[in-house]
Chains A and B, each alone.
Chain A
């Protein structure tokens, strides 16, 4: 479920207000961790505040008291708190933080103005995985060559659009209710409304048309996520010019769709649309498709995922103007050269999907009340995810995780950041190593990666004066992959021959997204190649691709084989 939620390739500007979450709450003094265990008994619980208006009952806790929040001015921290932790935004990040907070004994509330689950569950990774599951099966059934090689005979594979769309929608509902139930079962309070920070440790929330409630908390986590970024000049009508939000509903399967942006989102949708019979034109501002991937993997992916499919592309161009189809005219896309800015081409297509990345959803959060100014919409944070104000000082008790801080716009990164924050507020210093967070793109076959790309590793090596080794293995040599008749694929390991440190692993091939974790865990735990190469893998499995990869690395004999390579590095 935590697949990747879509990467942001550059997310300029604007914030769109939409439905999303918001907040409430404020806190008081930092709690010392060691009190944590005692807290329940010792402090009883502060009560809930509530502004004169609403009352909130915490049935799960024994001692709630009611406190009138209005008695306190917004500027000064309350003396006692309604909650230990309030999370603004119930996406995957907020959910991960809430669960961990409960485990740590914190009294936790989560504020959500829209639906629980956020982008990932409702408009991102989750429904897209449902569509991709369909596209993967369609691809297989349509590949006569593949079927024949397996000795299978299938007559014309077809699909029912509404059925596919329902599958995606049902999956999202199911995961959403799972998420909601898991939080309710653990005693997390789900407060409905848009959350706004009104002062230190204090949040107000409420639905439109209802009086606001004010709640306080010792610590606040902003986890409001992001919305699709739509560049200027592009008119989204939700029918023929769409974002991923609309595309995931699969209301139509156009004959010809242009996809603006060839990052994860664009690539995944190209996989879905071409499997369902559309033809696709990519529009990419950079000179190369799939920027952000290790170049070698990108090249191979292009050869497998783009060239043989009904896809063409324009690179090095901006779509300056996109007009939705109307009055019998097609969708019109005006392209200019990315460098010279001269008009280059005009495309006429049936639909356009805007997949140019995501913009943080931080408007209306009340950040001005704590003297914080966003940067291109992102909430500035330090490596411990503590929010930084305009003067460069840390805002006490205020954290920001997930897409809203822009560090790494992935659902599971948000969740990991949330857990890291909870660790900190419960007394254990913790810095998340973002280089150990894997990413995946669920095309067929899949792409996954963790750590540095080869060019990044070489740049770092030059700066720091170490040598870089690269090892590769192919899926063509893997028994399980061949049994599935899916031998297309490559795994690539970038490492330090002098000490055996894993710098990055990139996989393109069958189930790459599931395979990456052996590498990401090794990086997270600081395991060295000379140690992990002795770990045993079941045979025959796809995991042996990584086994072989580690075994083929040439670590210098001098490298000792115990202990982590280096402390995790924050990025």
Chain B
């Protein structure tokens, strides 16, 4: 094996040259135009290697490369190897991002001979990434209807907002009046990963330092906040007094909302004490568990005992008892609202669920959710607690039986049965349900179960 590893780490000549050779042969054809844009292929680093993972790109798009210079680190089934460039030129477009996997021989980047060709190469990478399905983890395609404004949602709000110091309330007492951002190493890492602009995050750590949970909260809040509080980036482009047609997403939301009026709904509220849940969250949040995942898990476990609340009525004549418990969670994103779905939330453990949630939020923000990831919910959660909203009322999404609106958990003075008063964290939840299939007593029983689970949350971590 080692001899294999020892061989040159260059992509095989033939594969690297493939493009240029075909270009020069087909002189009269349009390929010739692209002759100076070469593809960098996933090399075969060992005889048994069928695919490779990009560990890291040592160069960025636009960097100049000389022949023999290391461009990328590839992990094969046996080892990590530097891959060198076979040609001189500019790294025009990276087609498989760090962490992505590509089969041996597939293009992972484009190399332009001159700087002028970078743009052309980029355009090409766009089209080819759509046409090369063999790239296992290619950049997921944009969801057309959800992405009228193509720039990634996160990038759009963050860049302009960063300059709006007013929003940058991360005022660290020792950070020269907020000019400097003080964030812990992990918070910085997370911010990069979740594409959160630290300038917009309020720090809650020691001395106002930004810590990981602030970034996590911001990552969830950003999309929600983005639509209403996004005047900065968008407002500049909006002329007051004009009429703007719906985007595709807004159109879809509008249709659904009107459709919801045909369903006879009613509401039941409940106040739940969350001290135990808060304590649990505090204990396991370092392992990446989010409050959203905990709530989804708790709801799913309650639904197991009340299948009727997880049912729906599609035709006005029958119940559909859904076979799985898929919790949809409403997330506001740039220009709309989407409900990523945590599938089988009753069966998946809390850690996996949290990871899944993070992945879904990232995808939602990048508008890359696949249809099954946002339209298979059987029960919906909508949480505005992070804004301090204490109670609200949700509209039932068509095709489902119930939706639960979750308010903030707040310290409240509570009188107990024995005549004492004490302080407890309480949150109000309010379920809207389709009364054709779910009745008041069903919801009441469901909420009682949910309250029990939340107030004694030990089952959530199993």
Instruction: List residues of chain A with CB under 8 Å of any chain B CB.
Output: 142, 144, 155-156, 255-256, 277, 279-281, 300, 303, 310-312, 329-330, 332, 346, 348, 350, 470-474, 476-477, 490, 548-549, 551-552, 554
By a CB distance below 8 angstroms, the chain A residues around B79 are 472-474, 476-477, 490
By a CB distance below 8 angstroms, the chain B residues around A476 are 77-79
Can you spell out 15 A-B residue pairs with CB atoms less than 8 angstroms apart?
A142-B287, A279-B186, A310-B185, A310-B189, A312-B185, A329-B174, A348-B172, A348-B174, A472-B79, A473-B5, A473-B79, A474-B78, A474-B79, A474-B80, A476-B78
Known: A155-B461, A156-B461, A277-B286. A300 touches B80 (CB 8 A): yes
Bound CA span A310–B174, Å: 23
Q: Is B168 an interface residue (CB 8 A)?
A: no
List the B residue with the shortest CB-CB distance to A350.
B206
Q: Is B283 an interface residue (CB 8 A)?
A: yes
- A472 and B6 within 8 A (CB): yes
Minimum CB–CB distance from A537 to chain B (whole Å) comes to: 15
Bound CA span A548–B284, Å: 43
Known: A256-B185, A310-B186. A144 touches B287 (CB 8 A): yes
- A281 and B185 within 8 A (CB): yes
By a CB distance below 8 angstroms, the chain B residues around A346 are 180
Known: A281-B185, A472-B2. A156 touches B207 (CB 8 A): no
List the B residue with the shortest CB-CB distance to A257.
B185
- A477 and B78 within 8 A (CB): yes
Within 8 Å by CB of A348, from B2, B182, B187, B212, lies B182
Bound CA span A477–B461, Å: 36
Q: Is B56 an interface residue (CB 8 A)?
A: yes
Q: Is B66 an interface residue (CB 8 A)?
A: no
List the B residue with the shortest CB-CB distance to A473.
B2
Q: Is B57 an interface residue (CB 8 A)?
A: no
Q: Is B209 an interface residue (CB 8 A)?
A: yes
- A472 and B5 within 8 A (CB): yes
**For this complex, into which size category does the number of interface residues on chain B fall?**
35 or more
Bound CA span A474–B1, Å: 9
Bound CA span A346–B5, Å: 44
Minimum CB–CB distance from B96 to chain A (whole Å) comes to: 18
By a CB distance below 8 angstroms, the chain A residues around B189 are 310, 312
Q: Is B184 an interface residue (CB 8 A)?
A: yes
Minimum CB–CB distance from B404 to chain A (whole Å) comes to: 27
Known: A156-B287, A551-B2. A279 touches B174 (CB 8 A): no
By a CB distance below 8 angstroms, the chain B residues around A548 are 1-2
- A255 and B2 within 8 A (CB): no
By a CB distance below 8 angstroms, the chain B residues around A332 are 174
- A156 and B284 within 8 A (CB): yes
Most chain A beta-carbon neighbours within 10 Å: one of B2, B205, B211: B2
By a CB distance below 8 angstroms, the chain A residues around B351 are 144
- A255 and B185 within 8 A (CB): no
Q: Which 7 A-B pairs have the closest CB atoms?
A: A552-B2, A310-B186, A474-B79, A312-B185, A279-B185, A279-B184, A279-B186
Bound CA span A471–B5, Å: 9
Q: Is B55 an interface residue (CB 8 A)?
A: yes
Minimum CB–CB distance from A215 to chain B (whole Å) comes to: 53
- A303 and B55 within 8 A (CB): yes
Minimum CB–CB distance from A567 to chain B (whole Å) comes to: 30
- A348 and B209 within 8 A (CB): yes
List the A residue with the shortest CB-CB distance to B188.
A312
- B77 and A552 within 8 A (CB): no
Minimum CB–CB distance from A518 to chain B (whole Å) comes to: 16
By a CB distance below 8 angstroms, the chain A residues around B205 are 255
| B278-321 interface (Cβ within 8 A of A) | 283-284, 286-287
Q: Is B242 an interface residue (CB 8 A)?
A: no
Q: Is B3 an interface residue (CB 8 A)?
A: yes
Bound CA span A256–B180, Å: 18
By a CB distance below 8 angstroms, the chain A residues around B286 are 277
Minimum CB–CB distance from A299 to chain B (whole Å) comes to: 8
List the B residue with the shortest CB-CB distance to A310.
B186
- Tally A-B pairs: CB < 8 A: 82
**15 additional contacts, CB 8 Å, given A281-B185, A348-B174?**
A142-B287, A156-B287, A156-B461, A256-B184, A277-B286, A300-B80, A330-B207, A350-B206, A472-B5, A472-B6, A473-B1, A477-B1, A477-B78, A490-B79, A554-B3
Minimum CB–CB distance from B109 to chain A (whole Å) comes to: 20
- A330 and B78 within 8 A (CB): no
Bound CA span A485–B73, Å: 22
Bound CA span A469–B78, Å: 20
Bound CA span A476–B79, Å: 7
By a CB distance below 8 angstroms, the chain B residues around A490 are 79-80
Bound CA span A474–B78, Å: 6
Bound CA span A160–B461, Å: 21
Minimum CB–CB distance from B451 to chain A (whole Å) comes to: 24
- A552 and B55 within 8 A (CB): no
Bound CA span A471–B3, Å: 8
By a CB distance below 8 angstroms, the chain A residues around B77 are 476
List the B residue with the shortest CB-CB distance to A281.
B185
Minimum CB–CB distance from A346 to chain B (whole Å) comes to: 8
Residues 180-210 of B, flagged 1 when their CB comes within 8 A of A and 0 if not, give 1010111111000000000000000111010
Bound CA span A552–B185, Å: 41
Known: A310-B185, A311-B185, A330-B174. A549 touches B207 (CB 8 A): no
Minimum CB–CB distance from A398 to chain B (whole Å) comes to: 48
Bound CA span A142–B211, Å: 20
By a CB distance below 8 angstroms, the chain B residues around A142 are 287
List the B residue with the shortest CB-CB distance to A548.
B2
- B78 and A348 within 8 A (CB): no
Bound CA span A472–B3, Å: 9
Minimum CB–CB distance from A258 to chain B (whole Å) comes to: 10
Known: A255-B205, A474-B79, A476-B79. A549 touches B174 (CB 8 A): no
Residues 153-185 of B, flagged 1 when their CB comes within 8 A of A and 0 if not, give 000000000000000000010110000101011
Bound CA span A282–B231, Å: 39
List the A residue with the shortest CB-CB distance to B79.
A474
Minimum CB–CB distance from A438 to chain B (whole Å) comes to: 22
Minimum CB–CB distance from B83 to chain A (whole Å) comes to: 14
By a CB distance below 8 angstroms, the chain B residues around A552 are 1-3, 5-6
List the A residue with the shortest CB-CB distance to B289.
A156
Bound CA span A150–B144, Å: 41
Bound CA span A514–B188, Å: 36
- B207 and A348 within 8 A (CB): yes
Residues 32-66 of B, flagged 1 when their CB comes within 8 A of A and 0 if not, give 00000000000000000000000110000000000
Minimum CB–CB distance from B207 to chain A (whole Å) comes to: 6
Bound CA span A348–B283, Å: 26
By a CB distance below 8 angstroms, the chain A residues around B2 are 471-473, 548-549, 551-552
By a CB distance below 8 angstroms, the chain B residues around A348 are 172, 174-175, 182, 207, 209
- B5 and A474 within 8 A (CB): yes
Bound CA span A554–B180, Å: 55
By a CB distance below 8 angstroms, the chain B residues around A277 are 286
By a CB distance below 8 angstroms, the chain A residues around B284 are 156
Minimum CB–CB distance from B97 to chain A (whole Å) comes to: 15
Minimum CB–CB distance from A551 to chain B (whole Å) comes to: 7
Minimum CB–CB distance from A55 to chain B (whole Å) comes to: 59
Bound CA span A329–B185, Å: 19
Minimum CB–CB distance from B461 to chain A (whole Å) comes to: 6
Residues 64-79 of B, flagged 1 when their CB comes within 8 A of A and 0 if not, give 0000000001000111
By a CB distance below 8 angstroms, the chain B residues around A477 are 1, 78-79
- B209 and A471 within 8 A (CB): no
Bound CA span A551–B80, Å: 20
Bound CA span A142–B2, Å: 33
List the B residue with the shortest CB-CB distance to A549.
B2
List the A residue with the shortest CB-CB distance to B176.
A346
Bound CA span A471–B2, Å: 7
Bound CA span A303–B56, Å: 9
- B185 and A280 within 8 A (CB): yes
Bound CA span A554–B184, Å: 48
| B1-38 interface (Cβ within 8 A of A) | 1-3, 5-6
| B361-414 interface (Cβ within 8 A of A) | none
